[in-house]
Copies of this chain bind each other. A is one copy, B any other.
Amino acid sequence: MIEDKTPQRTSIAQLGEFGLIDHLTKQFENTQPSTLKGIGDDAAVLDFASKKIVVSTDLLIEGVHFDLAYMPLKHLGYKAVVVNISDICAMNARATQITVSIAVSNRFPLEALEELFAGINLAAQEYKVDVIGGDTTSSQKGLIISITAIGEADEAEIVYRNGAKETNLLVVTGDIGAAYMGLQVLEREKQVFNVNPNSQPDLDAYTYLIERQLKPEARKDVRTLLHALEIKPTSMIDISDGLSSEIMHLCKQSKVGCNLYEDKLPIDPQFISVCEEFNIDSTTVAINGGEDYELLFTIAMEDFEKIKGNPNFTIIGHMTQESEGVHLVTRANTKIALKARGWNALEE
């Protein structure tokens, strides 16, 4: 469908393991002062002086986390980096380095890996992270991407999941649900393509949703925005697994309850119309969808005036006593207990 039909196919076995690694990694340039030694030794060497270091890692598996039928490899490389940087942003830290390990079956020609690494390099440049190491090997089946992201922060800046307090306001960045509906659109087009490979899909009505799914961005700007507003969140988490699930994490670790307001959820008009087209309840998707890579955080009530009306942030609820539980307050003003459905890769 959207897949690039690369005309040239060079077998990766021709280059050998070391040749392949050299070929794919020579494009990476180190720009972070904290990178003393990048790719090319047994390990990379970093220097963070007085800063604290944050580390996060993610594993992406073909057929579980992505489908190459509609995910172009360059986008996949970009997204794999973004997903990890989002976790660093969720600590209120600044991403500085990544390691990238790849396993591929021999059905992938060199040109496919070049596309993937071009996407990785684009994200590395966009987010100003150095690619300092990794591993490239073969898989028995499909493509596997493992990325570890490293970031830095002053100790006083770091925001954990466990600092939310009763009466804190619950805030989310951007809008939610769009990435999930983008996936539904792509899945539907894949079915259509399987039935009729000559169909020409018109995806104009879905561009925002598809972009949210195929080319998400990490909210590296939030750290700067909050700093300028003189707000330090009391807790923060990224909502890659879905809003509902992440609220449960914050509440559990902070030992608080939460009221989330249905009428406050920030959703895009395109998202609403596509939910209607698919006959899916938009609130259900908005709170359970996942993959939006926005940040969810809590702030002290006193910070309300600083954040009010800011287009980057939406206040969607407030924290309560733990004993009150975690609820969605619907438009009809009824309270429904939230469940951490999240995105359960293991059930699929």
> Do residues B48 and A43 form an inter-chain contact, with CB atoms below 8 A?
no
- From B42, B142, B158, A91 is in contact (CB under 8 Å) with B42
* Alpha-carbon distance between A43 and B84 when the two chains are bound, in angstroms: 9
* Alpha-carbon distance between A149 and B99 when the two chains are bound, in angstroms: 11
Q: Which residue of B lies closest to A248 (CB)?
A: B18
Q: In chain A, residues 1-49, which have Cβ atoms closer than 8 Å to a Cβ of chain B? A: 12-13, 15-18, 20, 36-37, 40-49
A287 within 8 A of B: no
A interface size (C-beta, 8 A) = 79
Decide yes or no: A141 and B138 within 8 Å by CB, A53-B47, A101-B58, A160-B37 being known contacts.
Answer: no
A97 within 8 A of B: yes
Q: Which residue of B lies closest to A16 (CB)?
A: B344
- Pick the interface stretch among A62-70, A180-188, A265-273, A324-332: A62-70
Copies of this protein chain in the complex: 2
Q: Which residue of B lies closest to A64 (CB)?
A: B138
Q: Which residue of B lies closest to A340 (CB)?
A: B18
A275 within 8 A of B: no
> Do residues B57 and A138 form an inter-chain contact, with CB atoms below 8 A?
no
**A50: B residues at CB distance < 8 A:** 49
Decide yes or no: A142 and B140 within 8 Å by CB, A20-B346, A45-B52, A57-B134 being known contacts.
Answer: yes
Residues of A within 8 A of B (CB): 12-13, 15-18, 20, 36-37, 40-50, 52-59, 61-65, 87-88, 90-91, 93, 97, 99, 101-103, 106, 132-142, 144, 146, 148-151, 155, 158, 160-162, 236-238, 245, 253, 340, 342-348
Seed contacts A41-B91, A49-B50, A61-B139; 13 additional CB < 8 Å A-B pairs: A16-B344, A40-B253, A43-B88, A43-B93, A43-B149, A44-B56, A46-B52, A47-B155, A53-B53, A56-B99, A58-B101, A61-B103, A99-B148
